[in-house]
Structure 1
Amino acid sequence: MGSKDKSKYQSSTRTCCYQKSSAHHLVAGADGHAHRMNLRFCCISRSTYNKHGRADALMRAVILLVLILSCCSAADVVLNEVELGPPEGSSDWVELYNSGNESVMIGGWCVRIIDESWIGEIHIPDGVLIEPHGFYVAMGSKEWMHNNSGVVQLIDGAGNIVDESPLRTDTLANDMTWGRYPDGRDRDTAGDWGYMMGTMGAPNTVSGRA
């Protein structure tokens, strides 16, 4: 092959990151966890990179997009329902809800209940994925002894508070819980929460809401 032919082929060589435009990928987010998202990457020729000097700018843009989307996905996971006064022989539990359209890796996160000087923590095992519009229930210990009230916090693997409930009290030792209605409603007000019949791991309903 002559030098002209080699030059022709070299100039048309392309660099591709991904070609599956409809595939879901797990990428590492700013919080150190993996997030599943749907991204489209285009093939751009090396000659275009070299001629216009756009490689670094393109890579920075892609990285920024990934970080923004991963942070947004993590922010979609909220506290959705809490049982602070369970029936005798049962345990406290906290339900999480993913209000977004992407799965979020919540392994390594922590649910914390703060009742005055008492603190109870539920650590979510590694590898737990919460699907879009899905639920995850974190179970406390039957040995916990506190005043059946408290503030509930959701904490990510980096120690950041992702969500926090207002102070709530539940001293009736029954199946009533504090929950958001509709699911995932998050206006950062006490009105987001209502006292209702518990629906562990399922959509909250207005039926039985006090």
Structure 2
Amino acid sequence: MMYMRHQLVGLALGSLVVVLLGALCTGQVSLEFDLPHLLINEIEINPAGFDTDREWVELLNPTVEAIDLMGWQISYSYREEGYLVLSETSLLIQPGKRYVFVYPGLRLRNSEAHVFRLLDPDGNVVEETAPFMDEADDDSTWQRFPDGGDPLFPDLWFFQESSRNKTNG
């Protein structure tokens, strides 16, 4: 999974003093962390019955600011990749809120595993799922658990009854 990464370099008067088990060490410390960003939170690949116009991806905004979906894209792939623009006009997802994007006029191949990617307006991949497959033809979906993922296990997904536009737990 690709994340936007930022690096912090701790420089306190040229060096950082660290006390560890009674030993005194000096030097520079580099910390790397993942900033929150728009996330793919739930995916319906194979709803009960006819699939066209009923397959969807739920996005979650875990940040403290609204995110404008204008220019963002979802890609899906099994053998070849397809791209869909989420919105060509301004469409805001408020902090902590969800947005369900329904694939327009599209039916995904159910017998193939799909990888879903979320691309920002500059075309950078900010989110990528593992390959998911759904041959159940019911209302089960692939869901990140808990909502937005666990910081220790960000790629923890479950296949269970749909929670569209609601918390996954």
Larger radius of gyration: 1
1:160 equivalenced with 2:160 (yes/no): no
Aligned to 2:162: 198
Partners of 1:141 and 1:188 in 2: CA distance: 35
**Gapped regions of structure 1 (runs ≥ 5):** 1-71, 206-210
Report the structure, 1 or 2, having the larger strand content: 2
Aligned to 1:128: 91
Aligned length: 132
Please tell me whether the aligned partners of residues 149 and 155 of structure 2 are also in contact (alpha carbons under 8 angstroms): no
Report the structure, 1 or 2, having the larger helix content: 1
**Higher relative contact order (CA closer than 8 Å, sequence separation 6+):** 2
Q: Which of 69, 72, 79 lines up with 1:116 in the alignment? A: 79
- Identity over aligned pairs, percent: 28
* TM-score (normalised: structure 1): 0.57
**Gapped regions of structure 2 (runs ≥ 5):** 1-34
Aligned to 2:30: none
Aligned to 1:84: 45
Partners of 2:58 and 2:152 in 1: CA distance: 17
Shift of 1:184: 0.4
Partners of 1:94 and 1:168 in 2: CA distance: 12
Which residue type is aligned with residue 193 of structure 1?
W
Aligned to 1:139: 102
Q: What's the Cα RMSD here?
A: 2.3
Partners of 1:180 and 1:152 in 2: CA distance: 13
Shift of 1:187: 5.3
Partners of 1:181 and 1:166 in 2: CA distance: 14
